[in-house]
Structure 1
Amino acid sequence: MHVLAPIDGSDCSFRALEFAVEFTDRYDGTLDVVHITDYEDESIEQLLERARTVCRAGGSDSTPELAFDVGIYRMRYANKIGKDILELVADRDIDHVVMGHHGGNTVDRLVIGSATETVIRANRVAVSVIP
C-alpha cells in the first residue's frame, strides 16, 4: 500500500502524519510525506524537521519533502492545494491519502475551500481524515 500524507504545519496535519506512520507500519506500506508550497524558508525547514522527527519516532524511514507549485503565490487556496495533492496521487500511484482537517469556519470554507474536501470529493483514492 502506498500512502500519501500531505502536511501544512498545523497540529491536525501532524496528528494525521502520526496516524499515517502507524497505518503504513501496520499494513507494511510505503509512506510519502509532502508539504506543498511556492517558497522555501527557515520555517519550512522547521516544518520538515518536525515531520522527520514524527516519522523517526514511529519507526518510518520516510523522508518528508517539498512539492513546489509556483502558481499558488502565497495565497494558498485550499482547492488548488487539493488539486496538487490529487496530481501527486496520480503521478505516484497512491492508494490512500491521510490528511488532517481544520474544520474552519463557514466563511473560510466558502471563500478558500478545503484541500481535504477537494480530495474527498474527487473520489479517486481512499482518504482517512484526522481531526
Structure 2
Amino acid sequence: MEVLVAVDGSDNSDRALRRAVAYAEAFDATVDVVHVSDGETSATDDVLERAEATLAELDAEADVSLDVIEMGVPTDREVAKELLALVEREGYDHVFMGHHGVGMVERTILGSAAEGVVRNTTVPVTVVP
C-alpha cells in the first residue's frame, strides 16, 4: 500500500503526517511526503526539516521518503491538480493532507488544495484540521 502526504509546514500538515505514519505502520504501507513549491528556498528547507523532525520524533518504522514538487505559482487549484496527477501516475492508495479551515469567502476566492483533491480523486483522502 502506498500513502501520499502533502506537507506545507503548518501544524495541520504536521498532524496529517503523524496520522499517515500511524496508518502506514498499522497497514504496512510506505509513505511518500511531498511539498509543492515554486522553487527550493529556505522556506522549502524549513518545511522539509519540520517533516524530518516529526519523523525522527515518531521514530517511524514505516518506509518514508521526502520530495519537493516544483511548479510556477502554486495556487491551491494548481497544487490540487499536481497532487491528483501524482496520485494517478504513481498509483497511491490513500492521501493525507492538512486543511486550514478557511471560511466560505476565502475558499471561493482562493480555493482549497485539500478540497480539490477530495472532490476529484478516486482514492480515500484523510483531511486533518
Q: Which residue of 1 aligns with 2:68?
A: 66
Write the deviation string for residues 10-57 of structure 1: whole angstroms up to 9, x where unpaired.
110110001001110110001000000111111211210110121233
User: Partner amino acid for 1:62?
Assistant: V
Q: Which residue of 1 aligns with 2:32?
A: 32
Residue ranges of structure 2 left out of the alignment (5+ in a row): none
What pairs with 1:1-131 in structure 2 (closer than 5 Å)? 1-58=1-58, 59=60, 60-70=62-72, 72=73, 76-131=74-129
User: Partner amino acid for 2:126?
Assistant: S
User: Partner amino acid for 1:97?
Assistant: V
User: Partner amino acid for 1:68?
Assistant: E
Whether the aligned pair in 2 keeps the contact of 1:34 and 1:67 (CA below 8 Å) is yes
TM-score (ref. length: structure 1): 0.91
Q: Distance in 2 between matches of 1:61 and 1:96?
A: 15
Write the deviation string for residues 81-109 of structure 1: whole angstroms up to 9, x where unpaired.
11111011011110000111111022210
TM-score (ref. length: structure 2): 0.92
Q: Distance in 2 between matches of 1:117 and 1:26?
A: 26
Over the residues paired in the alignment, what is the CA RMSD in angstroms? 1.2
The count of residues paired between Structure 1 and Structure 2 equals 127
Q: Distance in 1 between matches of 2:105 and 2:39?
A: 26
Q: Distance in 1 between matches of 2:38 and 2:30?
A: 26
Whether the aligned pair in 1 keeps the contact of 2:29 and 2:63 (CA below 8 Å) is no
User: Partner amino acid for 1:93?
Assistant: G
Residue ranges of structure 1 left out of the alignment (5+ in a row): none
Whether the aligned pair in 2 keeps the contact of 1:55 and 1:61 (CA below 8 Å) is no
Q: Distance in 2 between matches of 1:63 and 1:3?
A: 11
